[in-house]
Amino acid sequence: MQTPSSTSLSSASPTPPNAFDWRLDATGRVVLQKLRDPAAVAVVVPAEIDGAPVVAIADAAFAYAELLTSITLPTSVEIIGANAFFRCGSLTDVALPDGLREIGPKAFDLCASLRSLRLPERLKTLAFDAFDRCSALSEILIAPTNKKFSAVDGVLFSADSKTLLRYPPGKSDAYVVPNGVEKIAPGAFDGCAALTSVAFPATLQTIDAQAFRDCPALAKFQVAPENANFRSFDGVLYSAEGKTLARYPEGKGDAFEVPNGVETIGDGAFSGCKSLQKVALPLGLRTLEANAFSGCKRLTSAELPDGLQSVGVEAFRGCKRLKGLALPTTLRSLGSGAFYGCKALTDVKIPDGIATFGAATFYACFQLRSVAFPDGLREIGASAFYACDSLTQVVLPNGLQTLGPAAFGGCRALETVAFPETLQIISAQSFKGCAALQKIALPNNLREIGPGAFDGCAASTSATLPVGLQTLGAAAFSGCRSLQSVEIPSGVKTLELGVFSGCRALTSVVVPDGVLTVDDEAFNGCAALTEISLPSTLRTLGFCAFCGCRALTSVALPASLESVDPDAFFGCSPDLIIYGKTGSVAERFAENASFRFEAR
């Protein structure tokens, strides 16, 4: 096979500099930022532009040049950035210069016609995913004088041959990892669609969890009997003592029974097994590590056994057909994103042993209808139930102290929430976009409502704020267009930016003594507001604080006011009466804004 070299294409004339967008770096050297003509077929990058050497190809500089078949880079180029040649699907010839030092992440991602690549002698940095989805790439060559890398039979290794770095995605059939290899690197076999089996030597010590993604034909692992770290049984890879299932080959089959004696399903063990439909787990299982079953799109059944203690981060992420899941009573840990995107889940009962669970645990579980929480639960993490569109009611447990950011955000069908008296913090956007939520009755011990916590809860007609509330965040009730009245507790010192903006049904507000600031747009667009009581402690009225409050006929501004933004009442009725003390900020504001002033 003829392989590209730095001389094979160099005889062509350089492409004119005006074919590129470019800039000078801090040292006055040229960085090519973009190929202007996406229909270009052959490009020879010039060595200089305006007398300055071309040293770098910027991120995505040639991305989507789908007709490009060849690219020649001058010896001056040292860096190829991330996604530099992304989706150059016709690219077959690449001449990499001897001076190249670095190839960035996904630099040649989806270059589906690239068959062979020679890496130059000075290359030191190569992103593990630089050749993702190069489905035709069957060999990677390396200059023999390169001190960082080596190649054997078209497979890329570290210079000492102890780490297998990249098996070409287009290389087919079975592969025997050479003796002496100790480590399989991240993404080493990623996207190897025709790979059928892999045999590991006695010297192998570690295999990265992401080493074998998207290998649909891979049906068997084999391990040398002398290996002290791994063993294989029926084509499946295990730890040497058999207690951890390390990797299930993606092409093995659609059902599997994990053998007795296995205590741990390893990091990414079944990840991306798209044909797997059913898995039986043994009673002795204790741990599902991160990504254990992530991306198993056809998995419908995975009965979690009693004795299971931990479900790791994103363990079942993207298992969109998984349903009827029962979490065992022995469970003590539930990782972030554990069931992210499990669209078929309908009912979940959180076991008593769970005190907290992490971010996005049930994110986008669109068919989830009910959740039962244990009384020992103290915190629900960020986005835990975000976009659970079928959830209509939630009863939060006694003992719960914190709702994380966006915990129930985007739950569009959620109508009722029962809050426990133990709840102290409702974080930012916890219920943002819960358009069907009707009544917001908050517990007495609540201290904090975060920014945007109830933003867009359009059906809510009332909100009872507890007397102990200290913090009411920006836009906390913004867009609650059915909210009719609200009484601010005395512990709140600032009405933050847009806190009640767009509450167009709001007719009356009582702002208590102690409040110092009504911030920008706090009541912007409250078109039905007819009555507002401002406290004697108020010092500042911000920009557009009451903009568009057209039904407001009068307002008494206290003598404590130190500043009123000129547009604080912009868009209000021209007949608005401002009450205040003679010679006060209130009088000066009324005069400047052309509102009627009456002394009190």
The model's pLDDT over 207-266, given as tens digits with 9 standing for 90+, comes to 999 999 999 999 999 999 999 999 999 999 999 999 999 999 999 999 999 999 999 999
Name the pLDDT band for 8 (thresholds 50, 70, 90). Answer: very low
Q: Is residue 6 pLDDT above 60, yes or no?
A: no
Residue 487: what pLDDT?
Answer: 87
Higher-pLDDT residue of 169 and 3 is: 169
Mean pLDDT, to the nearest integer, of 82-100? Answer: 95
Q: Is residue 2 pLDDT above 80, yes or no?
A: no
Mean pLDDT, to the nearest integer, of 308-322? Answer: 97
Residue 358: what pLDDT?
Answer: 84
Name the pLDDT band for 1 (thresholds 50, 70, 90). Answer: very low
Secondary structure of 397-459 in HEC code, one letter for each residue? CCCCCEECCCCCCCCCCCCEEECCCCCCEECCCCCCCCCCCCEEECCCCCCEECCCCCCCCCC
- Tell me the two tokens of residue 36: 């202007």
Mean pLDDT, to the nearest integer, of 384-405? Answer: 97
The model's pLDDT over 400-457, given as tens digits with 9 standing for 90+, comes to 999 999 999 999 999 999 999 999 999 999 999 999 999 899 999 999 999 999 999 9
Residue 12: what pLDDT?
Answer: 67
The model's pLDDT over 117-168, given as tens digits with 9 standing for 90+, comes to 999 999 999 999 999 999 999 999 999 999 999 999 999 999 999 999 999 9
Residue 155 φ/ψ, nearest 5 degrees: -105, 140
Secondary structure of 304-337 in HEC code, one letter for each residue? CCCCCCEECCCCCCCCCCCCCCCCCCCCCEECCC
Residue 357: what pLDDT?
Answer: 84
Q: Calculate what percentage of the chain has a pLDDT beyond 90.
A: 92
Name the pLDDT band for 506 (thresholds 50, 70, 90). Answer: very high
Q: Alpha carbon of 549 to those of 34, 339, 524, 526: distances in Å?
A: 50, 45, 7, 5
Q: Calculate what percentage of the chain has a pLDDT beyond 70.
A: 98
Superfamily classification of domain 17-137: Ribonuclease Inhibitor (3.80.10.10)
Mean pLDDT, to the nearest integer, of 70-95? Answer: 96
Longest pairwise C-alpha distance within the chain: 96
- Tell me the two tokens of residue 130: 């630089």
Residue 301: what pLDDT?
Answer: 87
Residue 3: what pLDDT?
Answer: 40
Mean pLDDT of the chain: 95
Whole-structure pTM value:
0.88
Cα 355 off chain centre by = 24
Mean pLDDT, to the nearest integer, of 91-95? Answer: 92
Mean pLDDT, to the nearest integer, of 101-122? Answer: 96
